[in-house]
A and B are shown apart, each in its own frame.
Chain A
């Protein structure tokens, strides 16, 4: 597909990279030559210099035969205008990044009038992601599938965990009370594997388990992980993510303390978020943190603009015994290093945003077969989880899984049939209308038929 990406900033460049990896024709538009030059050096894309809301620039970039236009410049207004003009000039779908909370309220109207098919708000999406982590503090990462019926949770295996040191196929005989979940993916020393029955989980592995909510909760209770709810949350930095996050978690009964260094911002936040305890001060100051009761916090979230600051204060909070530390870090390449330092929950708004858009793009790939409904990136993008809906007449319908051939490094994680979650074994079948979740380390799969064959 031909995809136009307007704005080669953090999100734009990340998105362009993923799209080229999936063999789409990508055209990047930006008004900054230096940024474009960098794009041209590192990515296999066509670069067009100019203002993306200008009709002539869009025509030069070939908007008339573009399948999707993604407007990801810094300005919401520019993005909306891009979509409006791009749609008129012939783009089939338009996606805009709209981040201002003010526009968020009239979003439906805007979307309709401007021809925007998908509005992405990176800050809100990030806040949602963090809020899920706070609801399940034992996990370092959570994804939910099939309208929330299936949950996939990442945790780091500890030496005393009952599931370590034993082949997966022997687990159920050795531990009869262990709830049935699927071990979807494991990472050890930077290497991601889709485990088979022969796999043995070792302490230090990052493990993804999938199942319905109940089984997952029971699974972690069985392991003796701390499952009590988060009550007190401290947020560092008063940016947009913090604002959305506070708006989401405060109604859930969490007590939020927010630290912001800029007095004006702090004042405005306290006005907008009456239930939140807003502090004016430097969040990297240890004395301030201790004075405000860092040790008694259940969760500490660093959302300042500087990755280094987030990392350092996060590490400090972790040494002070805060059970759940979430760190915002936009430099994806360093995620490995950071997780080795003991910080597990790392959030990257640009990854989340580009994953959101990518999910949409994948679902728009035309043609027949079983297309991806949703796509999730796991373990810094080394593995992917995809949700498909099985349609009538596909070749794999009704055949026991053990008689089908799976693509290598791929696994059918769960099947959801009429609201019931099945963790599949060899005798289970895929029936029409089922929601099927696949975990794979192979990239650029777009169709269930590429994974399963007779």
Chain B
């Protein structure tokens, strides 16, 4: 195993993390907050670790095999989360390290589950000013932006000559069963992806600004939404603004960031057909619109008193926030505020997630589609055993090995959610609905959960928070890199 190369790349990741702290640091300095020292110290600690790792360790070869690749991905996400928690701890904003780590993991994995309680946001409640500083608040949301597209992809976009076999790195980080390159070179692919990502983020910032949000709020929600994370600087999330225009803009962008970013590039280079003929996109939009319309029917009467316009807006917002795995809220859709009939749909959508190659989490529409097609195939096989049935997707036959992988992924996904809810239940604090949906919301990187836990994650036990951090990482890296990390063989003779 090429340990030196792993260390060198991890050092690079830390340096990039230090760079990512700069915008927050500048904001804190601009607002003359005392927490700017915490951000500066965190960045310097990253540099202090990163520089020796990057520049003093000299690997003999830059050969990267599957094992090094997955270790780099897993370790860099863990390391990034640990160092990303430093600003919270050092500023005293979240003094407990486990809480801070949970918040940081939740940020980078774009989950958006928070340990903050009402008084810790920027809102003034009963005359008491919230404790969240501008710099720390922005860092919290900016972790979504970094984690959404992936830090290794960013590294490749910035430093092309890093390593030869970069496919191993990007595969684990970019969601979906197969890696789809846009350009022959991985570096160019990474650059294009970040350009599209940046352009869309900028568009959302402008749109939110036009809706009358402050510069800070617009920027924070744009980066938070781009990574489909869901951190907000207000305890009420989007409901704070109480403005339909903002809700509509956020709904639109949550949907846009649920779609494979490569498809936008296809439009840019004039390949409209790629966009219009995308089978995954059709599946996604079908599920999206279908669920939202059914929910509209369910909630229009009991919740919105017959106001169909309101019902539509709320249904679309909440379906978008669930499918895109963002987790912004405008109402208590996971609480008794909504009828259970709507909860049933939302619970299903919490598994599916959005398209591959987007910043969203979940199982991904493509996998859901392939699982559905395999299910149908087995049904047909029971009454017509000799029929030859090849599963087709996006206009071509799908390899049986890939189908097998998808089936196993589906099983492991559900198993992990169940295992997680069991472990969380050991803390004996909440009912099983809260624990199960908390586990699911972590693996799917969404944020809100049902039941008593819907109020926030602060009340969960320390053990639960560690378990949930692992679940979030597992969900973001598509399960297997994190599971392999715990396999004893990986650590034997290293």
Contact = CB atoms under 8 A, between A and B. Distances in A.
Interface of A: 2, 20, 25-27, 33, 40-47, 49
A41 B168 contact: yes
Given A33-B399, A41-B66, A46 B181 contact: yes
A339 to B, nearest CB: 21
Given A44-B165, A44-B166, A44-B185, 4 more contacts: A25-B185, A26-B184, A27-B184, A40-B167
A266 B270 CA distance: 58
Contact of B184 (A2, A33, A41): A2
B186 A44 contact: yes
Contacts, number: 32
Contacts of B167: 40-42, 44
Contacts of A33: 399
A87 B107 CA distance: 51
B179 interface: yes
B164 interface: yes
Contacts of A20: 185
A25 B184 contact: yes
25 contacts: A2-B184, A20-B185, A25-B183, A25-B185, A25-B188, A26-B184, A33-B399, A40-B167, A40-B179, A41-B165, A41-B167, A41-B168, A42-B165, A43-B165, A44-B164, A44-B165, A44-B167, A44-B184, A44-B185, A44-B186, A44-B187, A45-B184, A46-B183, A46-B184, A47-B181
Contacts of B399: 33
A27 B182 CA distance: 11
A41 B167 CA distance: 6
Nearest to A47: B181
A49 B186 CA distance: 18
Contacts of A49: 396
Nearest to B188: A25
B414 to A, nearest CB: 27
A346 B382 CA distance: 58
Interface string B30-62: 000000000000000000000000000000000
A41 B396 CA distance: 22
Interface in B113-145: none
Nearest to A21: B164
Contacts of A44: 164-167, 184-187
Contacts of A40: 167, 179
A26 B181 CA distance: 12
Q: 7 closest A-B pairs (Cβ-Cβ)?
A: A25-B184, A46-B184, A46-B181, A44-B186, A26-B184, A27-B184, A33-B399
Nearest to B63: A42
A33 B399 CA distance: 8
Nearest to A33: B399
Interface in B2-22: none
Interface string B182-207: 01111110000000000000000000
Contacts of A25: 183-185, 188
Q: Is the interface of B mostly helix, strand, loop or mixed?
A: loop
Interface string B45-89: 000000000000000000000100000000000000000000000
Most buried by A among B165, B167, B399: B167
A43 B165 CA distance: 6
Contacts of A27: 184
A44 B168 CA distance: 10
Interface string B157-176: 00000001111100000000
Contacts of B184: 2, 25-27, 44-46
Contacts of B396: 49
A43 B396 CA distance: 24
B7 to A, nearest CB: 22
A66 to B, nearest CB: 11
A43 B186 CA distance: 10
A26 B164 CA distance: 14
A20 B167 CA distance: 14
B220 to A, nearest CB: 36
Contacts of B168: 41
A25 B166 CA distance: 15
Contacts of B181: 46-47
A430 B185 CA distance: 38
A370 B343 CA distance: 71
A43 B66 CA distance: 13
A88 B114 CA distance: 59
Contacts of A45: 184
B60 to A, nearest CB: 12
A23 to B, nearest CB: 8
A2 B181 CA distance: 15
A47 B182 CA distance: 10
A269 B168 CA distance: 48
A49 B180 CA distance: 12
A33 B166 CA distance: 20
Nearest to B179: A40
A46 B183 CA distance: 6
A268 to B, nearest CB: 40
Contacts of A26: 184
Contacts of A46: 181, 183-184
A405 B221 CA distance: 56
A176 to B, nearest CB: 44
Contacts of A2: 184
A31 B184 CA distance: 18
A33 to B, nearest CB: 5
A84 to B, nearest CB: 24
A91 to B, nearest CB: 15
A330 B396 CA distance: 35
A45 B165 CA distance: 10
Interface in B293-313: none
A50 to B, nearest CB: 9
Contacts of B187: 44
Nearest to B396: A49
A2 to B, nearest CB: 7
Nearest to A50: B396
A364 B479 CA distance: 46
Contacts of B164: 44
Contacts of B179: 40
